[in-house]
Amino acid sequence: MDISRRKFVHLTSAAVVTTAYAQSTNGAIKASAKTKNDPLGVRKDFPLLKNVNYLNTAYHSVSPNQVVEAGVQFYRDRANPADSIGPFLANGRSVRTKFAQMVGAMPNEIAFINATSEAENIIANAVDLKEGDNIVTDDLQYPSSFVLYDHFAKTKGVEVRIVKRDKSGATSIEDFEKLVDEKTRIISVSWVSHDNGYQHDLKALASLAHSHNAYFYVDAIQGVGMLELDVKEADIDFFGCGTYKWLLGSYGVAFFYVRSELQDIIKADRQGWRSVKDDSPLTDFDHYTDAAKYGYATPAFGAINVVGTALDYISNIGIKNIEAHTVPLAHQIRSSLIDHNIDTDTPPANRSAIVTYYHGKDPALVKKLYDGENIKVSFKHEGLKIRVSVSLFNNQNDIDHFNDVTAKIPLLG
């Protein structure tokens, strides 16, 4: 009997998961004993920390051993491939469910896409922007959003309105209110800014958008995995979230959240065999109507496998615990910068694990100082600005070391 690919997937997927995933989650993800120097009991899982003070998760994460092994095993299995991709698809559905639980969504509101910016492209193209419409964002948003809306400004006459940060590095709901009107179609922000770590008040911005019949889009890549999020409480309409930063995963896969009530409005912009429930006929396909419709082709199974293990790892620790550990350490960094008269543009009492500052010296000398101490940070704005980010594996010694070294910057020539 001839069995279609789709039907074979459903026959096999319920009982089987990938070898890499099973091995990496079969009791292996357990935190070690918690100590003063390892409050979350995780440092043994990150061998890099033996030699490097890694404070650069806002750029990309260090993956723990369990996640690395999941990726290695996945590609090791490619030397003797399985007869069906059914197990991979089953694992993907499991990963979507895990992520949905992490952010307070329903599994049918989560899709896999390739990268964070793809989410906003799908949204902007689906809402039928017209001349006279406006988009409101702020100057803390990621550059891809500006490129996207500049395209609509030039091709459709859409106005792009940008809220400017204040002297502390924050943008206020009051400043957004000044730019939002009945012609506003989308308010777009990064939950946590890549540029200075500022954490936006999502619920207030969602309320502002909805009071003007606008949509609320969030770039969540710099927040999910660092901070607790409940998308229903925050009343977010859509978000995109890559997996290679605070989710400890890799490149090639991102999560796309579309609130269930809006999935009829946000049409799938591409079609393929994963857009439909059964690919056996040649016409009249039964299309998915939930977020699964945004997946249209064979996804990055390896990256999905990896982030599935990473989600287990993070959930075992608890995002609430990660937030409670990392944010106060970031506050210590900011306080030390202020004490040494180094100019920071991260607002005081900001609830994120990212801090940025202008060192005011020759970037080459500052980089040499940090490199000599094996401290990893991000150099931005032609090296004049530094971004430091505290992750779940960092400890008090890392922060003290960083602060002691940074205190030498004002003394550089």
Give 333-359 as a 3 state SS string. Answer: HHHHHHHCCCEECCCCCCCCCEEEEEC
* Averaged pLDDT for residues 154-173: 97
* DSSP sequence for 286-341: -B--SGGGG--S---HHHHHHHHHHHHHHHHH-HHHHHHHHHHHHHHHHHHHHHTT
Helix (H/G/I), strand (E/B), else coil: 165: coil
Centre a 10 Å sphere on the Cβ of residue 316 and count the other Cβ atoms it contains.
Answer: 14
% pLDDT > 90, the chain: 85
Q: For 349-404, write each residue's pLDDT tens digit.
A: 999 999 999 999 999 999 999 999 999 999 999 999 999 999 999 999 999 999 99
Q: Is 180 exposed, middle or buried (0-12, 13-18, 19+ CB in 10 A)?
A: buried
Encoded tokens for 66: 């369990």
The pTM of the full predicted model, rounded to 2 decimals, is 0.90
State pLDDT tens for residues 20-79. Answer: 333 334 444 555 678 889 999 999 999 999 999 999 999 999 999 999 999 999 999 999
Q: Which domains does the chain have, with CATH numbers?
A: 88-316 (3.40.640.10), 319-411 (3.90.1150.10)
Please report the pLDDT score of residue 20 as a whole number: 35
